[in-house]
Amino acid sequence: MTEPTPNSSNASSSKNEESISTSLPELQDLSNLVLGDFRLLRRIGSGGMAEVFLAEQISLKRNVAIKVLRSEMLKGSDDVLLKRFEQEAKSAATLNHKNIVQVYAIGEENGIHYIAQEYVSGMNLSEFISRKGPPSVAVALKLMVQVAGAIQAASEAGIVHRDIKPENILLTRKGEVKVADFGLAQLTQSGKRVNLTQVGMTMGTPLYMSPEQVNGKPLDVRSDIYSFGVSCYHLLTGKPPFHGETAMSVAVKHLNESAVPLAKTRPDLPKVLCQIIERMMEKEPAKRYSDALALDKDLRTVAKTLKKKPDEVKQLSLTKISASNQPEKSNAQKGDSKIDRFFFWNRKRHLMFFLIIAIPLAGLSATAGWFLRPRNPFETIPQEKTNTVSKLKTPQDQYLSAQYLVNDEQAWRAVIQYFPEDQLYKPRAIEQLGILYIRRKRFDDALEMYQQLEQHQIDKTSRAKGIAGRAVIASLQNDHKRSQKIIVSELLPLKSELDMRTDLGSELGQYVSETIRRNRKVLGDEVKKGSEDLFQNDSKPIDNTGM
């Protein structure tokens, strides 16, 4: 769970939260402790359920975030509760989505239960709102679409988050969303009525709880959609819709009171966006979106209209866009009266029907068998693999579709194949393919992608990414000298023109940092110090792990 950031717009809840949080017992300093494959480096955050440490994964030489569960959360817990938590955490670890913080491992060492997850450098949504206030509609929609995608991906895997709130929505420096703590809320909210007075229960959680969650009823994705709607309300107004002196008083308002209409608080917002959020925040689950996919489609429709036809956004309504986003009914859904009548034929009529079609079918089967017989492999001409992804109208639409599918190789290749002359989205798709291939250890394919990026004559950033990718792959293939030479002689000279930390992107930048450390460990003094300064003097990101 994440520790809410005090918000000046909500002084009462911040004060209450502080008084509750100060009652939490301090964990001993676990810096330098080794838990399995992870060495804790320093504490970087603290929340109601866990302490968070920056750690090094020893085997892969990469930074990770380790959440060490507070011992008092486990006191009195039976084996069934711990087993349920472990099962849900393992399920969360199977989630592989661009907008979800990746869970790498869970474990227990000498009575210390921990979760190892992706380390995210940036700020959470609560901090973003506190520092910058409500964003533009375009930025808000961009963030909302990404969170909706994360919730839908988890829902398809059978996972309900249970604690969607701004503190659990992390933002990278490039504006990418990472939703944290899938599975962690199960430890304290496993089908029981929530204890709003328990130690570690900050104001952050009840501010965003769904009514059914407060009542201890069974939860599904619609509960997450409600909490997300409340978070969106906070994002666009600068404060949550409900306030109170205690966690209990806030929770009761979720059950019994309606929020001030968003359209009244922010009359400048598009009417349709207010309607979407109001639907997300309906008290009755049946009146909300049934899943995050439908929500995602509506948000994308608004975002697309805002970008291409901004004057028409004011005319949009939820009824209109929801109707246009409904999939057409299949023949099976519509029902086919002829097929229905077939099943009411008498036996004689059925017999005649099958005799009529049996003879032609026998001949057809024989013919098909001849043509479908196995070919001589030496006579077979290999066919070029075609892309099964449909072509969309614009390269932007194609790229956004690939982003939605995340790890679909064909989706990224579709951007490249269908829009070969595009100078914006084609390089981005090539970059995403390179990263995808590195993850899958297809280093030769990844190298091909980065070589293509390096040849990009217009964009210096793409060229730098191509060089960086080559250096990473050389190191992963154990050619550390060549890797280091690429970094020092080709990548480092570009430092004066680019902000490496920002321009390389969070994932590729992390790979480069790991490459430098790996090369230094193998080559020792042969590594020139200049390579270690590649990211120095760039704007330093804010460390944040969702606490």
**Is 163 annotated as catalytic?**
yes
Catalytically annotated residue among 29, 163, 311, 408: 163
Half-sphere exposure of 358 (CA within 13 A, CB side): 6
CA distance 456 to 425: 12
State both tokens at 464.
């730098």
Report which secondary-structure segment, H or E, holds 235.
helix 221-237
CA dihedral sign, ordered 273, 276, 280, 282: positive
Tally of CB atoms within 10 A around 410? 14
Instruction: Find out whether 3 and 24 touch, Cβ atoms under 8 Å.
Output: no
Question: Measuring CA to CA, which residue among 198, 185, 230 is closest to residue 211?
Answer: 230
d(CA 488, CA 536): 14
Position 337 scores a pLDDT of 47
- Rounded distance, CA 295 to CA 303, Å? 12
Burial of 407 (0-12, 13-18, 19+ CB in 10 A): middle
Residues 240, 243, 245: CA angle, nearest 5 degrees: 145
CB atoms within 10 A of CB 545: 26
pLDDT given for residue 365 in this prediction: 66
Strand partners, 100: 179
Best CA proximity match to 34, nearest among 107, 125, 85: 107
Question: By the 8 A CB rule, do 11 and 241 touch?
Answer: no
Rg, C-alpha atoms of the chain: 27
Count CA within 13 A, CB hemisphere, residue 255: 13
- Over residues 230-274, the pLDDT tens digits come to 999 999 999 999 988 887 888 889 999 999 999 999 999 999 999
Task: Give which of 297, 263, 265 is closest to 278, Cα–Cα.
Answer: 263
- The low-confidence residues of the chain, meaning pLDDT below 50, are 1-27, 187-193, 197-204, 328-337, 339-344, 375-385, 538-547
Q: Count H helices, E strands: the chain?
A: 24, 9
**CA separation for the pair 281, 259 (Å, rounded):** 9
- Per the CB < 8 A criterion, the answer to whether 132 and 125 are in contact is no
Q: How large is the greatest C-alpha to C-alpha distance in the chain, in angstroms?
A: 91
**Cβ density class 26-62: b for 16+ within 10 Å, e for less:** ebeebeebebbbbbbeebbbbbbbbbbbbbbbeeeeb
Q: Which helix (H) or strand (E) holds 80?
A: helix 79-93
pLDDT digits (tens, 9 = 90+) for 135-172: 999 999 999 999 999 999 999 888 889 899 999 999 98
Return the structure tokens found at 121.
Answer: 């450098």
| Nearest-10 Cα torsion for 217, 220, 226, 232 | 140
Which domains does the chain show, CATH number per domain? 8-324 (1.10.510.10), 405-532 (1.25.40.10)
Could you give the count of Cα atoms lying within 13 Å of 36 in the half-sphere of its Cβ? 18
Cα 433 to Cα 10, 414, 437, 448, distances in angstroms = 43, 11, 6, 10
pTM (2 d.p.): 0.56
Q: Which of 71, 48, 67, 92 is nearest to 204 (CA)?
A: 48
**CA 182 – CA 91 distance, rounded (Å):** 9
- Residue 115 parent element (H or E): strand 112-118
Identify the three-state secondary structure at position 244.
coil
Task: Report d(CA 142, CA 400) in Å as an integer.
Answer: 11
Q: Is 328 exposed, middle or buried (0-12, 13-18, 19+ CB in 10 A)?
A: exposed
Place of tokens 């892309």: 387
- Rounded to whole angstroms, the Cα distance separating 226 from 257 reads 14
Q: Supply the pLDDT for residue 80.
A: 57
